[in-house]
Structure 1
Amino acid sequence: MDVRTIDIHQEPASSCVSVAIDLIGRMGEPGYARQLTDSLSQVVRFAHLCILSFSRLTPPDLLGTGSTLSPACAEDTAYIYLDGHYNADPTGQLRAANVDSGRQLYIQRQRAEDIANADYRMSCYEKPGIVDRLSLFQHFGPDNWIAVNLYRDSSQGHFDSSEYARLITVAPIVTASADKHRQLVTSNPHVPANGLLEYDAVAPTIEQRLATIGPMLSAREFEVCSRILLGLSAKEIARQLGIAPNTVAEHRKNAYAKLAVRNHKQLFARFSL
C-alpha cells in the first residue's frame, strides 16, 4: 500500500487558496460535492469523486459523490463500496493503526491490479472500469476520519507523479472542508450526510410540478419519479418506499415511457420546461 504523510502545517499554495474560496460557500449544502468536483478537476484529471466519513464502530457515511464523466456510475459504485466492500479497503489499516494519534493527513494510492481481495477489485474497480485511486485520508479525532477518493477510469489511465504532487498541495483544504461539510450537514435536519435534500423538506413543490407534467403516472410511478427529481438513487428510493431496487427500476421504466423520456437527464429537462 503506497501511503504518504502530508504536512498540514506547510504554507498553502495558491491553488489551495483558490479551492478554499470555491468551497466556502458550498459547505453544508447539497451542491458541495459538485463544487468540489469542479474545483479539483482544475487541479488534476479524474473520472469520479467520493467523500466518506469513517468511525470505528459504525459503517462509513457517504457525504457525496461527483463525476466528470458519469454521476450515476460514481453514485452506484459508492453504494456498492458501502455494501461491505469498505472492509477490504487498505485504508482500514490506517484507521486501526492511528486511531489514537493526533490529527494526521495521508495520501494513499490504490491501483486495481494491486488489490488482493478479488471481490472488492471486481465490484468496485473492474466492473465500473476504475484503474486507479488517490485517497486523501485525514484523522480529525477522536474517532472521525474523512476520506476524499479520486478515481481514474480506463479511458484516462493511471495518475502520474505530477498529478500526485498537485493533489498533495490542495489536500489540507480539501479534507478540512469535507469535515466542516460533515459537521454542517449533521446539524442541519434538511441536509443529510449524503448531501441530498430530505424528501419532506421540498416534496410539495416537486409533487405539484410533477402532477402537472405527469397526470398519467400511477401512484407508485409518481413516488419514484418525484424522488429521482430530488437526486435519490434507486437504492435510496427502495429504502424509502420499502420496495426492492428492481421494483424501483421497473416503475422508473414505465414512468419514463409514459413521460416520453429515456433517462434521468431528459426527465430533469422535461420537469424544468
Structure 2
Amino acid sequence: MEFWPLRPSTTDFRLPIEQTATLLARTSESRGKLLAADMLKLVSAQVPLAQCTIFAYSPNRSPQIISFADRARMIELPRISSNYAERFYSMDGNQQAMTARQALPTAERIMVQRQGIEDIAHRDYRRICYELPQISERVALLTHCEGNRWLSVNFYRGREHGRFAPHEINVIETAAPLIVQVSRLH
C-alpha cells in the first residue's frame, strides 16, 4: 500500500467534448447514482477497469456511499460497498492517506492511494471486498472538503487486467482534477 500527493501529469488525456458536456450537465441534475458509471466510462476508455465506487467520509462516522458502478461483473457490488462502509473502512489504506495529508502543512488538494489485495491483512475484508469480486488492486483519488469531510473516488482493477502499470496510474492522475471537481459538484 502506498499513497502520495497528486503528481504533475506526463500523459496526454483526451476527453471528447460531448463526454465533458455530459459530465458537467449531470452535476445540476442530482444524478449521483450515475456518477461512478460516468467516471468508470471516462477512465476505462484508456485504462482497463472493473469497478468504480465513490464514498464521502465524515469525522467519526462510517462513510456514505455516493455512487458505484461495475462493468457487468458483479451484481453484489451494492452489498460489497455496504460491507466496506459498515465494517472495513477503518482498515483501509485511504484512512492512512487522509491522516498523512492532514499532517502536511501545505498539502496538495488531491491524494492518490494505491492498495493491492496483498496489502490487506484482515481476512474478511480481503475476501469480501477483493477476492469475491476478483479485484487485484485499487487506485483512489482523495480530496479534503469543507467540514473536515473527505471524498474518495476509487477505481478497481479486475484480476484479468493484472496490476496497474505506471503509465495507467499516470492517466488516472492526469484525469484526477476533472474527476475530483465533477465529483465535488455532485
How does the TM-score come out when normalised to structure 2? Answer: 0.84
Alignment of 1:1-273 (within 5 A): 1-7=1-7, 14-15=13-14, 20-27=20-27, 28-29=30-31, 30-70=33-73, 72-99=75-102, 104-181=109-186
Q: Distance in 1 between matches of 2:184 and 2:58?
A: 13
**1:170 to 1:63, Cα distance in 2 relative to 1, 3 A:** same
Could you say what secondary structure the match of 1:72 adopts? coil
**Structure 2: 5+ residue stretches without partners:** none
- Across the aligned residues of Structure 1 and Structure 2, the Cα RMSD in angstroms comes to 2.5
Q: Distance in 2 between matches of 1:81 and 1:131?
A: 16
| Runs of 4+ deviating beyond 3 Å | 10-14, 16-22, 97-103
Encode CA deviations 1:117-159: one digit per residue, 9 max, x unaligned. Answer: 2221122111221111111111124411111111112222211
Structure number with the higher helix fraction is 1
**1:156 to 1:13, Cα distance in 2 relative to 1, 3 A:** closer
Are 1:20 and 1:173, in contact at CA under 8 Å, matched by a contact in 2?
no
**Structure 1: 5+ residue stretches without partners:** 182-273
How does the TM-score come out when normalised to structure 1? Answer: 0.59
Shift of 1:61: 0.7
Q: Distance in 2 between matches of 1:56 and 1:17?
A: 37
What is the number of residues matched between the two proteins? 180
- Bigger RCO (CA 8 Å, 6+ sep): 2
Shift of 1:84: 1.4
Partner of 1:205: none
**1:14 to 1:47, Cα distance in 2 relative to 1, 3 A:** closer
Shift of 1:103: 5.6
**1:38 to 1:85, Cα distance in 2 relative to 1, 3 A:** same
Q: Distance in 2 between matches of 1:77 and 1:86?
A: 12
Are 1:99 and 1:143, in contact at CA under 8 Å, matched by a contact in 2?
no
Encode CA deviations 1:71-116: one digit per residue, 9 max, x unaligned. Answer: 5233232112112111110211222333476662111111101222
Partner of 1:206: none
Encode CA deviations 1:43-79: one digit per residue, 9 max, x unaligned. Answer: 3110011001112122111110011233523323211
* Max Rg structure: 1
Q: Distance in 2 between matches of 1:5 and 1:162?
A: 17
Are 2:93 and 2:113, in contact at CA under 8 Å, matched by a contact in 1?
no
